[in-house]
Protein backbone atom coordinates (compact mmCIF):
# COMPACT_ATOMS: atom_id res chain seq x y z
CA UNK A 1 0.00 0.00 0.00
CA UNK A 2 2.66 2.44 1.08
CA UNK A 3 4.71 1.48 -1.93
CA UNK A 4 2.09 2.97 -4.22
CA UNK A 5 1.96 6.32 -2.51
CA UNK A 6 5.66 6.48 -1.72
CA UNK A 7 6.28 8.97 -4.52
CA UNK A 8 3.65 11.29 -3.07
CA UNK A 9 5.31 11.04 0.32
CA UNK A 10 8.59 12.00 -1.30
CA UNK A 11 6.91 14.96 -2.94
CA UNK A 12 5.47 16.05 0.40
CA UNK A 13 8.92 15.70 1.94
CA UNK A 14 10.51 17.89 -0.73
CA UNK A 15 7.84 20.54 -0.12
CA UNK A 16 8.32 20.33 3.64
CA UNK A 17 12.07 20.78 3.29
CA UNK A 18 11.42 23.83 1.10
CA UNK A 19 9.12 25.37 3.70
CA UNK A 20 11.57 24.74 6.53
CA UNK A 21 14.45 26.19 4.52
CA UNK A 22 12.35 29.27 3.79
CA UNK A 23 11.51 29.77 7.47
CA UNK A 24 15.16 29.43 8.50
CA UNK A 25 16.45 31.82 5.84
CA UNK A 26 13.76 34.30 6.75
CA UNK A 27 14.67 34.24 10.43
CA UNK A 28 18.31 34.85 9.58
CA UNK A 29 17.87 37.58 7.03
CA UNK A 30 14.97 39.65 8.28
CA UNK A 31 16.20 43.02 9.68
CA UNK A 32 16.43 43.07 13.45
CA UNK A 33 14.37 46.18 14.09
CA UNK A 34 11.58 45.21 11.72
CA UNK A 35 8.16 45.32 13.38
CA UNK A 36 9.37 47.35 16.34
CA UNK A 37 6.81 50.12 15.87
CA UNK A 38 4.79 48.78 12.98
CA UNK A 39 5.30 46.99 9.69
CA UNK A 40 8.64 48.64 8.94
CA UNK A 41 12.25 48.73 10.01
CA UNK A 42 12.23 50.61 13.30
CA UNK A 43 15.84 51.68 12.79
CA UNK A 44 14.72 53.71 9.77
CA UNK A 45 13.30 56.42 12.06
CA UNK A 46 16.72 57.15 13.53
CA UNK A 47 18.40 56.98 10.15
CA UNK A 48 15.97 59.45 8.62
CA UNK A 49 16.15 61.89 11.54
CA UNK A 50 19.94 61.91 11.57
CA UNK A 51 20.17 63.66 8.18
CA UNK A 52 22.34 66.83 8.27
CA UNK A 53 20.56 70.17 8.32
CA UNK A 54 20.94 72.81 5.60
CA UNK A 55 18.85 75.71 6.93
CA UNK A 56 19.87 77.03 10.33
CA UNK A 57 16.56 78.68 11.21
CA UNK A 58 16.13 82.40 11.86
CA UNK A 59 16.51 82.15 15.64
CA UNK A 60 20.08 80.97 15.14
CA UNK A 61 20.87 83.88 12.79
CA UNK A 62 19.27 86.35 15.17
CA UNK A 63 21.37 85.17 18.10
CA UNK A 64 24.46 86.67 16.44
CA UNK A 65 23.20 89.31 14.01
CA UNK A 66 21.35 91.38 16.59
CA UNK A 67 21.91 94.70 14.80
CA UNK A 68 20.13 93.36 11.69
CA UNK A 69 17.23 92.27 13.86
CA UNK A 70 16.99 95.80 15.27
CA UNK A 71 16.77 97.18 11.75
CA UNK A 72 14.19 94.61 10.67
CA UNK A 73 12.03 95.37 13.69
CA UNK A 74 11.47 98.85 12.33
CA UNK A 75 9.96 97.64 9.07
CA UNK A 76 7.71 95.13 7.35
CA UNK A 77 10.44 92.59 6.67
CA UNK A 78 10.53 91.55 10.33
CA UNK A 79 8.31 88.64 9.30
CA UNK A 80 10.67 87.53 6.54
CA UNK A 81 13.06 84.81 7.73
CA UNK A 82 16.75 85.44 7.06
CA UNK A 83 17.30 82.40 4.93
CA UNK A 84 14.32 83.18 2.69
CA UNK A 85 16.64 85.62 0.92
CA UNK A 86 20.09 84.51 2.05
CA UNK A 87 19.64 80.81 1.34
CA UNK A 88 20.57 77.82 3.47
CA UNK A 89 23.26 78.82 5.97
CA UNK A 90 23.50 76.12 8.61
CA UNK A 91 27.14 75.72 7.57
CA UNK A 92 27.81 79.39 8.26
CA UNK A 93 25.99 79.17 11.60
CA UNK A 94 28.16 76.18 12.57
CA UNK A 95 31.43 77.83 11.63
CA UNK A 96 31.02 81.47 10.52
CA UNK A 97 34.62 81.87 9.43
CA UNK A 98 34.65 78.95 7.03
CA UNK A 99 31.39 79.63 5.18
CA UNK A 100 30.76 83.13 3.87
CA UNK A 101 27.20 83.80 2.72
CA UNK A 102 27.24 84.92 -0.93
CA UNK A 103 26.30 88.48 -1.86
CA UNK A 104 22.77 88.57 -3.18
CA UNK A 105 21.63 89.97 -6.49
CA UNK A 106 18.64 92.04 -5.39
CA UNK A 107 17.26 92.32 -8.91
CA UNK A 108 16.60 88.58 -8.75
CA UNK A 109 15.88 88.00 -5.09
CA UNK A 110 13.41 90.83 -4.56
CA UNK A 111 11.49 90.18 -7.78
CA UNK A 112 10.60 86.67 -6.69
CA UNK A 113 8.25 88.06 -4.08
CA UNK A 114 7.51 91.53 -5.32
CA UNK A 115 7.07 91.18 -9.07
CA UNK A 116 3.47 91.95 -9.88
CA UNK A 117 1.29 88.91 -10.48
CA UNK A 118 -2.47 88.85 -10.58
CA UNK A 119 -2.51 85.74 -8.42
CA UNK A 120 -0.78 87.48 -5.54
CA UNK A 121 -3.02 88.92 -2.81
CA UNK A 122 -4.12 92.45 -3.79
CA UNK A 123 -2.82 93.94 -0.56
CA UNK A 124 0.66 92.49 -1.00
CA UNK A 125 3.22 95.12 -2.13
CA UNK A 126 4.08 94.30 -5.75
CA UNK A 127 5.40 96.25 -8.69
CA UNK A 128 6.04 95.77 -12.36
CA UNK A 129 9.82 96.11 -12.03
CA UNK A 130 10.30 97.23 -15.62
CA UNK A 131 8.07 100.27 -15.01
CA UNK A 132 9.07 100.71 -11.37
CA UNK A 133 12.84 100.74 -11.62
CA UNK A 134 13.80 99.93 -15.20
CA UNK A 135 15.56 96.79 -13.97
CA UNK A 136 18.26 98.37 -11.79
CA UNK A 137 19.22 96.65 -8.53
CA UNK A 138 16.54 97.13 -5.91
CA UNK A 139 19.04 98.01 -3.19
CA UNK A 140 19.95 101.14 -5.14
CA UNK A 141 17.01 102.77 -3.36
CA UNK A 142 15.74 100.19 -0.84
CA UNK A 143 17.56 98.83 2.17
CA UNK A 144 16.48 95.16 2.21
CA UNK A 145 16.36 94.77 5.99
CA UNK A 146 14.25 97.88 6.28
CA UNK A 147 12.71 98.26 2.83
CA UNK A 148 10.41 101.28 3.26
CA UNK A 149 11.91 104.44 1.78
CA UNK A 150 11.72 107.23 4.38
CA UNK A 151 13.00 110.82 4.72
CA UNK A 152 16.77 111.12 5.15
CA UNK A 153 16.41 112.82 8.56
CA UNK A 154 14.49 109.95 10.01
CA UNK A 155 16.96 107.44 8.55
CA UNK A 156 19.96 109.21 10.05
CA UNK A 157 18.21 109.49 13.43
CA UNK A 158 17.57 105.76 13.52
CA UNK A 159 21.09 104.93 12.44
CA UNK A 160 20.04 103.32 9.23
CA UNK A 161 22.86 101.21 7.82
Contacting residues toward another protein, per CB under 8 A: 3-8, 10-11, 14-15, 18, 22, 26, 28-55, 57-58, 79-81, 83-84, 87-88, 111-113, 115-121, 124, 126, 128
Complex with another protein: residue 7 or 151, whichever CB lies closer: 7
| Phi, psi for 116 (deg, rounded to 5) | -60, 135
Contacts (Cβ under 8 Å, ≥6 apart) of 34: 40, 41, 42
Judge whether 146 and 161 are in contact, CB under 8 Å. Answer: no
Complex with another protein: residue 124 or 154, whichever CB lies closer: 124
Rounded to a whole number of angstroms, the minimum distance from the CB of residue 23 to another protein is 11
Complex with another protein: residue 35 or 96, whichever CB lies closer: 35
Residue by residue, what is the 3-state secondary structure of 17-83?
HHHHHHHHHHHHHCCCCECCCCCCECHHHHHHHCCCCCCCCHHHHHHHCHHHHHHHHCCHHHHCCHH
Complex with another protein: residue 100 or 117, whichever CB lies closer: 117
Rounded to a whole number of angstroms, the minimum distance from the CB of residue 128 to another protein is 7
Rounded to a whole number of angstroms, the minimum distance from the CB of residue 72 to another protein is 12
**Distance from the first to the final alpha carbon of the chain:** 104
| Distance from C-alpha of 102 to C-alpha of 105, rounded to nearest angstrom | 9
Rounded to a whole number of angstroms, the minimum distance from the CB of residue 93 to another protein is 12
Rounded to a whole number of angstroms, the minimum distance from the CB of residue 7 to another protein is 4
Complex with another protein: residue 119 or 153, whichever CB lies closer: 119
Amino acid sequence: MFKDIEHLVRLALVMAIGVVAFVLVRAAVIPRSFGQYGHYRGAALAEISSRPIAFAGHQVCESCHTEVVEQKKLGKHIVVPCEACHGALAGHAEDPASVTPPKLDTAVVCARCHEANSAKPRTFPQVVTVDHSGGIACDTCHQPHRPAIETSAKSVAEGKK
